[in-house]
A and B are shown apart, each in its own frame.
Chain A
């Protein structure tokens, strides 16, 4: 990463943190987006609290997706689970045609308003990209490598932990990144069913016809997504580099 882009990222991050901590400072920037003397900065709650609960919801849901999706991915690529592999691929393909909004809305009548339907929807929707990438990552490990590991006397468990998972790691991480970014965005829709999060800011803006709120909420979520995306790309590259270093050693 060049010095310039690193500086740009640090500056953006500082801007984001300042905005969340002290949004009033930016009132003049958002003033032109309001009309009839409406407030320029969201005033119905603390942005810090909303950001934290937004991130917490996404984090908990995605953590659940990671545990379940990676375990399932490992299971269907073992000899004992191979029979389930073709069908799992089909399920992933079909599952991804489900719009996240639909999953969210179906959960509401079943579990009521609040955090629960959002968590369920994010968890379910997050499963698919992680599962798909775990499958891709684990099935693309070359049979030659596995043979060599077997030849070195590694048992199935050590082959999985020391060879297959590390080799699949960058692809799995890419799946987690995709889930996180989608979930950050979907979690805003959770606010329509009374989950606490940055969606509240956007919806308050839509209800009071105040574009300043909509832009604020949207920008904070977009910047959070941007930084998470960026951080993961960095980790994925590290993981990839570690791999090639291992391969050449």
Chain B
């Protein structure tokens, strides 16, 4: 690999082409007279005040050049992060610019030029981060910086005229209620599956006779489509609520969060149990022999030797479950279980993209943040073991 300052980076070249396509060909925002009217796409020059538009184009071209020719990773990362912030600020500015004063029906939403530009910058950020080979703490710090930047951007009101936030403004209360519900569903079922799954995994490891039966049953559960499992659980839970008043007072009903919670719990069991078994099976017999030689009892061996050694693998299972649960919890909305899926399905029903995005974007961000955090924890656990 040449270390020359200026040589063509082929991946960066592709990203530069994406950036150029986004600003030259792509409409930057879409103006609509109301939330479901058909839109009128505007290129950058017509979506922003001229000075701002020219500034954004010059900046984007500069970043494209950095992407194609500059090898220094820190410079690439800084340019991409700066571009990302600029394109988001520009979107907010475009919404202010295009919305007629005092008109509360008009909607300005991002068009594909905006999305492509953001995607290109995100690729550049991702590429720089990948090549920098950040350790777990640095990755967590990067996530925190990104989260704080996003919070500042949204908190500052810069995006208040953008259609997605207009959808949010009319639903601010229900948004946070559904957000809490989504997190409770995803994390609550995850905790339950960890509490049940790890002991079950240990049992499977100790008693090989039940191992294949348990794992196969859990495998079959995973193949049941989510809406079907949610639906199937409605019947027994409705029966439970009708038969035992206590169940009903505990909030167990046929319709609502209870079947969703149980279904997510059942889906979560397989990765937790399977990874516990794999993790424990991987512990070398020599290590266990040595522990036995040191006079450790079976229970002490499990607590002090086997479990700590298997922990990173178990954590990997938990990471799979976390991401899977955050995604699947959207389906809960179909059976009245709430969560971000409420907006997703409402929006799909009305073909209102902004409303879909109001549900989908937080879900994706949550899942992404969960994946980054758990990946970092897995690396830390591996490091602690080594």
Contact = CB atoms under 8 A, between A and B. Distances in A.
B is bound to A: yes
Interface of A: 33, 83-84, 86-87, 89-91, 93-94, 96-102, 104-106, 108-110, 112-113, 181, 184-186, 188-189, 192-193, 199, 202-203, 205-206, 211, 214-215, 217-219, 221-222, 225-226, 229
A109 B344 contact: no
Contacts of A185: 223-226
Contact of A222 (B129, B224, B326, B357): B224
B351 A97 contact: no
A188 B328 CA distance: 13
A17 B359 CA distance: 39
B360 A105 contact: yes
Interface of B: 9-11, 14, 123, 126-127, 129-131, 219-220, 222-229, 231-232, 234-235, 323, 326-328, 330-331, 334-335, 341, 344-345, 347-348, 351-353, 356-357, 359-360, 363-364, 367-368, 370-371
B355 to A, nearest CB: 9
B330 A99 contact: yes
Nearest to A225: B223
B357 A106 contact: yes
Given A83-B10, A87-B11, A225-B223, A105 B345 contact: yes
A105 B228 contact: no
B71 to A, nearest CB: 12
B127 A193 contact: no
25 contacts: A86-B127, A86-B131, A94-B126, A94-B368, A97-B371, A98-B364, A99-B360, A102-B327, A104-B348, A109-B347, A113-B351, A184-B225, A185-B224, A186-B225, A188-B228, A199-B225, A206-B335, A214-B235, A215-B231, A217-B228, A218-B227, A221-B224, A222-B228, A225-B224, A229-B223
Contacts of A221: 223-225, 228
Contacts of A215: 228, 231-232
- The list of the 9 closest CB pairs from A to B, nearest first, reads A218-B228, A99-B327, A214-B231, A109-B353, A225-B223, A102-B360, A97-B367, A185-B225, A211-B235
Given A99-B330, A109-B351, 17 more contacts: A33-B235, A83-B10, A86-B130, A87-B123, A89-B130, A97-B323, A97-B364, A98-B327, A99-B328, A102-B360, A105-B360, A106-B356, A108-B348, A189-B225, A189-B227, A206-B231, A206-B334
Contacts of A206: 227, 231, 334-335
A226 B218 CA distance: 12
A101 B324 CA distance: 12
Given A99-B327, A102-B330, A110-B353, A199 B348 contact: no
B225 A188 contact: yes
Contacts of B328: 99
A219 B231 CA distance: 12
A185 B353 CA distance: 24
Contacts of A91: 123, 126
Nearest to A229: B223
A218 B344 contact: no
